[in-house]
Chain A
Amino acid sequence: MRYVAPQVLIAALLSALLGVLCLALTLGTVELSVGDLWRTLIGQAQGPRADNFHTIVFDIRLPRILLALCIGAILALSGAVMQGLFRNPLADPSLIGVSSGASVGASLAIVFSAGLLQTNAWMGLSVVAFGAFAGGLLATLLVYRLATSEFGTSVTTMLLAGIAIGAIAGSLNGLLSYFSNDALLRQMSIWQMGNLSTANWSRLLPVAVALCVLLVALPRVGLALNALLLGESEARHLGINVQRVKRQLIVATALGIGMAVAVAGLIGFVGLVVPHLIRLLIGPDHRWLLPASALGGAMLLIIADTLARVVASPAELPIGILTALIGAPLFIGLLVRQRRELQLW
């Protein structure tokens, strides 16, 4: 049984996202009232703390929340696309090694562009992002070659490939850290811890651009993804140019994951959890699943990031820990269910 009409879900997610956004703006080490927030947003704040409020809302919270929004949407979108591409609901960028691949690419970029990073933040970020994109692309291609055949996708191979790539990534990252000097080491470790606390407007911009590219490009492949779920040759028989679509999807997800990893480090499970929940509610039709996942992912990451800011305030939890805490049990549940379904045969 389906529970909700897709249009209803998307409308609900949109309004919930707006609500969460406003709520997240008020919460934090300094709590704002809704009234304060409103007056600050429209530039009518008065009183001794008006300047303070302005800084908190526009320089600290808004870029960070928007960054969480963009990255959550990108991760969930990429997850949904990947599950369609691999024809398996367990494919998640962080589980099959795409994020690890991206992280190696980013580390390599940090090491080899050390000079740039210190002199020019913008150039630095784009070099890291490009490294992450290239690493993610390589990892996706590798896993895809290994795990898919005309008889479907082997979940085992897919997850094992993820473990292998994760191991390679771990050792390469270790190696790079071992041979780096102190300054590089510091940069790499800050980056690897990966959280959203370094958000500012200039970091937000490339991520927002990447999200826009995905949002414009992906809805057009919704039908093709639906057909791909039947199998590659079946999709071809339905008139889909499979090679071209596959290439577009692999590049698009690598772009999304690379950008997310470059800016926010490794944030796992969003790409697994969100599309899964959405599919439970409205089914696997990608024409609705993709936009709904983007909204759901945006909302989830804003919530997780707000919790990360608030729970141990004034200290902060790394957001990756929170998403793993929600995601990992769900992943185990999925594994159990898939096992049970297989035994029915």
Chain B
Amino acid sequence: MVIAVDNLSLRVSGFDLLRDLSFVANAGEVTVVVGPNGAGKSSLLKVLVGDLVQTSGEVRLNHRELASWAVGDKARILAALPQHSVLNFPFTAAEVVHLGRIPHRTGIQRDAQIVDRALARVDAKYLQKRFYTQMSGGERQRVQLARVLAQISEPSSLGERFLILDEPTSAFDLAHQQLTLALVRELAGSGIGVVMVLHDLNLAARCADKILVLDGGRIAAQGTPAEVLTRAVIDQVFGVDVEIGEHPITHQLMVIS
């Protein structure tokens, strides 16, 4: 069960934003999309969640054409965390996370447990009764993350679950970046497919099963971090001369610029 993208192209008002993308994002794996600004990362995520419709090509979610999913069904297995949020009303953190349960009919008690657990997982339990409008950027982002966790927290009869994250760590301090990456790994471990955009190549190297490098709307490279994060690719795509090293303790791949 996968998100399968085949020959996807997207043209918006005369501009080719995405050209001939083909890749697969498996359930239980973390697929990280990287690339310079304007490479088409956000456009790709928008197509994957159904906000934009491709000009040509095919996107299949659990073997069914994405566009043929009913909105309500799709919401039970696919959750998306946007980069910015426009929420401007004084919901408490718990209430925001409760919104993630809208697609489900699991009852008040079960929902409350799920919300509690989601808040705890992003270290936002202490925010529970605070107003969203009075939180810092990082706190808001964590609460939103908890919301999408709550949305797909339980297995569904509709198939594998997927989580689409657009730069989830952008507003986070170091500790919460680490926490988020650990959480993402844990989610993948529980069978959820994660597709996320990251800017930091080292963060990508540490948590990705597969990296997708976008450049000018095309896939410049895809594969495991070791296959993709090479001097040649980074030079070609980002125009930056880097060294590829190894973390002294974890032996994970590191991009040193």
Q: Interface of A with B (CB < 8 Å)?
A: 1-2, 87-89, 151-153, 223, 226-227, 229-231, 233-234, 236-241, 279, 283-285, 341
- Are the CB atoms of B82 and A233 closer together than 8 Å? yes
Contact partner of B88 (CB less than 8 A), chosen from A152, A238, A239, is A152
Asked whether A238 and B51 contact (CB < 8 A) given A229-B91, A230-B86, A283-B92, the answer is no
Q: How far is the CA of A227 from the CA of B97 in the complex (A)?
A: 11
Asked whether A239 and B103 contact (CB < 8 A) given A230-B85, A231-B85, the answer is yes
Q: How far is the CA of A231 from the CA of B87 in the complex (A)?
A: 7
Pick from A88, A236, A239 the residue with the most CB of B within 10 Å.
A239
Q: Please indicate the chain A residues that have their CB under 8 angstroms from the CB of B78 in the complex.
A: 237
CB of B90 within 8 Å of the partner chain: yes
Could you give 19 example pairs across A and B, Cβ below 8 Å? A87-B86, A87-B89, A89-B88, A89-B89, A227-B99, A230-B96, A231-B82, A234-B82, A237-B49, A237-B78, A238-B99, A239-B71, A239-B74, A239-B75, A239-B76, A239-B103, A279-B90, A283-B90, A284-B90
Asked whether A238 and B89 contact (CB < 8 A) given A231-B82, A233-B82, the answer is no
Q: How far is the CB of B81 from chain A (nearest CB, A)?
A: 9
Asked whether A284 and B49 contact (CB < 8 A) given A234-B82, A236-B71, A241-B71, the answer is no
Q: Which residue of B lies closest to A241 (CB)?
A: B71
Majority SS of interface residues in chain A?
Answer: loop
Q: How far is the CA of A181 from the CA of B194 in the complex (A)?
A: 70
| Smallest CB-CB A-B distances: 8 pairs | A239-B75, A152-B86, A239-B103, A239-B72, A284-B89, A238-B102, A231-B86, A233-B51
Q: How far is the CA of A226 from the CA of B72 in the complex (A)?
A: 16
CB of B50 within 8 Å of the partner chain: yes
CB of B133 within 8 Å of the partner chain: yes
Q: How far is the CB of B147 from chain A (nearest CB, A)?
A: 8
Contact partner of B86 (CB less than 8 A), chosen from A151, A239, A240, is A151
Contact partner of A283 (CB less than 8 A), chosen from B71, B79, B85, B95, is B95
Q: Please indicate the chain A residues that have their CB under 8 angstroms from the CB of B73 in the complex.
A: 239
Q: How far is the CB of A74 from chain B (nearest CB, A)?
A: 22
Q: Which residue of B lies closest to A239 (CB)?
A: B75
Contact partner of A237 (CB less than 8 A), chosen from B80, B86, B88, B96, is B80
Q: How far is the CA of A234 from the CA of B99 in the complex (A)?
A: 10
- Are the CB atoms of A236 and B51 closer together than 8 Å? yes
Q: Please indicate the chain B residues that have their CB under 8 angstroms from the CB of A234 in the complex.
A: 80, 82, 85
- Are the CB atoms of B102 and A240 closer together than 8 Å? yes
Asked whether A230 and B99 contact (CB < 8 A) given A236-B51, A239-B76, the answer is yes
Q: Interface of B with A (CB < 8 Å)?
A: 49-51, 71-76, 78-80, 82, 84-92, 95-96, 99-100, 102-103, 129, 133, 151
Q: How far is the CA of A227 from the CA of B95 in the complex (A)?
A: 11
Q: Please indicate the chain A residues that have their CB under 8 angstroms from the CB of B49 in the complex.
A: 233, 237
Asked whether A87 and B151 contact (CB < 8 A) given A230-B99, A237-B78, A240-B102, the answer is no
Contact partner of A341 (CB less than 8 A), chosen from B82, B129, B133, is B133
Q: Please indicate the chain A residues that have their CB under 8 angstroms from the CB of B71 in the complex.
A: 236, 239-241
Q: Please indicate the chain A residues that have their CB under 8 angstroms from the CB of B79 in the complex.
A: 237
Q: How far is the CA of A181 from the CA of B199 in the complex (A)?
A: 70
Q: Please indicate the chain A residues that have their CB under 8 angstroms from the CB of B100 in the complex.
A: 238
- Are the CB atoms of A229 and B87 closer together than 8 Å? yes
Q: How far is the CA of A88 from the CA of B87 in the complex (A)?
A: 9
Contact partner of B99 (CB less than 8 A), chosen from A226, A241, A283, is A226
- Are the CB atoms of A227 and B51 closer together than 8 Å? no
Q: Please indicate the chain A residues that have their CB under 8 angstroms from the CB of B133 in the complex.
A: 341
Q: How far is the CB of A239 from chain B (nearest CB, A)?
A: 3
Q: Which residue of B lies closest to A345 (CB)?
A: B137
Q: Please indicate the chain B residues that have their CB under 8 angstroms from the CB of A151 in the complex.
A: 84, 86
Q: How far is the CA of A223 from the CA of B105 in the complex (A)?
A: 13
- Are the CB atoms of A284 and B91 closer together than 8 Å? yes
Q: How far is the CB of B187 from chain A (nearest CB, A)?
A: 17
Q: How far is the CA of A86 from the CA of B188 in the complex (A)?
A: 37
Q: Which residue of A lies closest to B164 (CB)?
A: A237
Q: How far is the CB of A115 from chain B (nearest CB, A)?
A: 48
Q: Please indicate the chain B residues that have their CB under 8 angstroms from the CB of A229 in the complex.
A: 87-89, 91
Q: Please indicate the chain A residues that have their CB under 8 angstroms from the CB of B72 in the complex.
A: 239
Q: How far is the CB of B61 from chain A (nearest CB, A)?
A: 13
